[in-house]
Structure 1
């Protein structure tokens, strides 16, 4: 069982086909469920893997849509928390190549308010992996409770810990955060991570001036995780392990609708692949054969590519993945 802990976000995605009104000043948007944690959990659920989502469901007219979206994908919500705080909102801008830019409306939102007691009560017995990341993992006050859980699991060796920084610069350098604080909070998580997924865009913020992605991937792997995945859009996925040669995988070429949720889909595909291969402990991860790892990474890359062919965070089902693989 995989457990995902983090935020729920309503993504307002532009509907370019609908136009922007007679004066061009009234663009139309479609409200779609999103957020790192919800996207990862839904992607895992659609792949048929047992998954728990630990989230704080806020209030507002779109809150029920988020819950229903998870339930339709088979996600277990029994450990989630009902909150009187508002739901997070992101207004998405899309470039011609489908890449996304975000404007956030998240002041006082439910996602950042985790407490130690809530996290302890929510953690499901028997889960063998925890995935955390993005805004909730580096925003106070809830980030401390999330880091505490990750540290306990690492210390006990009862579950793999997966971390995705998923930096959103507008919130990492505002919204009560400073860049130094965010880096310190992420360092705490990375110190206990078994799997790390980081993007070239994340690295550009975390380590300004980084130009050699091969060197960066290997250096990050040597910090402690068993596997480091470095994504770079449609460029090859870098797969680094401590003390081993760097490996790469070229993602399939697809017609991109947008890239919303692609990284989250890749994380879900990779983690479910590990768990289904019987990798539920750090020793098992360290002993994993490179060829098996390559197959898992290839499947994860295909999951992400299929998500890119559709608008919003809309990952494929297991049947769709199997058909694309064939």
Structure 2
């Protein structure tokens, strides 16, 4: 069983309908221009996306999240539960949900503006987390904003550190420069807890600007992380296992958007390692060839997520079907 700890985020995409502007009167008589905007809202949040992707791949997953009672909270619960995620470890929160308004560039890459102050996701207390049940869990995945936002960040980090004594820990920094500073990402300290560190090349550029990726990986290996995977979009992923490295290719795919692709990659990687019976400890039995095969599988899961709108990872039967996306 997997446990995933972190946030849910409402990903909103605004569509301005052409020629829909109008002039409306105000009480004082002056005119105000308005526009007809359509808002598409998808359930998201890095950890929640990973939990959904794991469940759809057929893994038992317990999600630890503080989920609001507002309209977005209902959306999160329905999405997670319908994908097969166990919500028994969630907290019913009074605070509002986190909202992210996203726009897409010409490559389908999302740029977010977050509305996160006072949101439910960051309010974890040691008492709340201390009562989360890890019975039967072999791997805990966390990271993203829950690991950097006050006031709950220390409680999340302490929970992961305690869990590391008896199971595999996976961390994805999922850097958000608009909400956190460079010093909010103590990756070397996290590597003392994490067995698996997955991050994107954009994350790496923020965390270690100008540094060769090999040198950064070696530094984090020395700090404790045995397996480090750096995703590179269409260029595949770098797999670094205790200093040995290999690059795996990414499947070719027609990209609708990249929302949730990195989270789906994480799920695919963890799923494959779990299938091989390698989780539950310090990854001592993992070799580079097996790590590379797991990353190749993860890249396929991510590619199928890019082929649809929003964070909508594939179900297991789509992975079992003949692939229409061959390695590039």
Q: Fold match, TM over 0.5?
A: yes
Partner of residue 205, structure 2: 204
Distance 1:217 1:247 in 2: 12
SS in 1 for 2:174: coil
**In 2: Cα distance, 1:56 partner to 1:222 partner:** 34
Q: Does 1:188 align with 2:156?
A: no
Alpha-carbon shift at residue 150 of structure 1 (Å): 1.3
Alignment of 1:269 with 2:268, yes or no, is: yes
Determine the structure 2 residue equivalent to 1:77. 87
Q: Output one character per residue of 1:282-325: Cα deviation in whole Å (capped at 9) or x when no partner.
A: 34x23223332222111111000100001000000000111144
In terms of fraction of residues, the more helix-rich structure is 1
User: Normalising by the residue count of structure 1, what TM-score does the alignment of the two structures yield?
Assistant: 0.91
Displacement of 1:124 in angstroms is 2.7
User: Aligned partners of 2:198 and 2:18: how far apart in 1?
Assistant: 37
In 1, Cα distance between equivalents of 2:313 and 2:19 = 31
Contact preservation (8 Å) 1:217, 1:239 = no
Distance 1:65 1:303 in 2: 23
**Counterpart for residue 69 of structure 2:** 59
SS of 2:94's equivalent? strand
1:211-222 maps to which residues of 2 (within 5 A)?
212-222=212-222
- SS for the counterpart of 2:112 is strand
Q: How has the CA–CA distance of structure 1 residues 263 and 200 changed in structure 2, closer, same or farther, with 3 Å as cutoff?
A: same
- 1:214 deviates by 4.1
User: In structure 1, what is the Cα distance between the partners aligned to 2:272 and 2:163?
Assistant: 20
Q: Distance in 1 between matches of 2:92 and 2:237?
A: 37
Residues 173 and 185, structure 2, Cα contact 8 Å, conserved in 1 = no
Q: Which runs of 5+ in 1 are unaligned?
A: 174-178
Tell me by how many angstroms 1:235 deviates. Answer: 1.2
- The aligned counterpart of 2:161 is 151
Aligned-partner Cα distance in 2 for 1:291–1:183: 30
Paired residues of 2:255 and 2:306 also in contact (CA < 8 A): yes
2:149 pairs with 1:139:
yes
Tell whether the 8 Å contact from 1:217 to 1:230 is kept in structure 2 after alignment.
Answer: no
Higher gyration radius (CA)? 2
Superposition deviation, residue 9 in structure 1: 0.3
1:310 equivalent among 298, 308, 311: 308
Change (3 A) 1:86 1:219: same
Structure 1 equivalent of residue 98 of structure 2 = 88
Q: Provide the C-alpha distance between the structure 2 equivalents of 1:266 and 1:286, rounded to a whole number of angstroms.
A: 22
The answer to whether 1:30 aligns with 2:32 is: no
TM-score (norm: length of structure 2):
0.90
For residue 218 of structure 1, report the CA deviation from its aligned partner. 4.1
> Per-residue deviation at 1:183?
2.7
1:4-28 CA distance string (max 9 Å, x none): 000000000245xx73452394442
Aligned to 2:234: 234
Q: Determine which of 264, 288, 291 is the counterpart of 1:290.
A: 288
SS at match of 1:291: helix
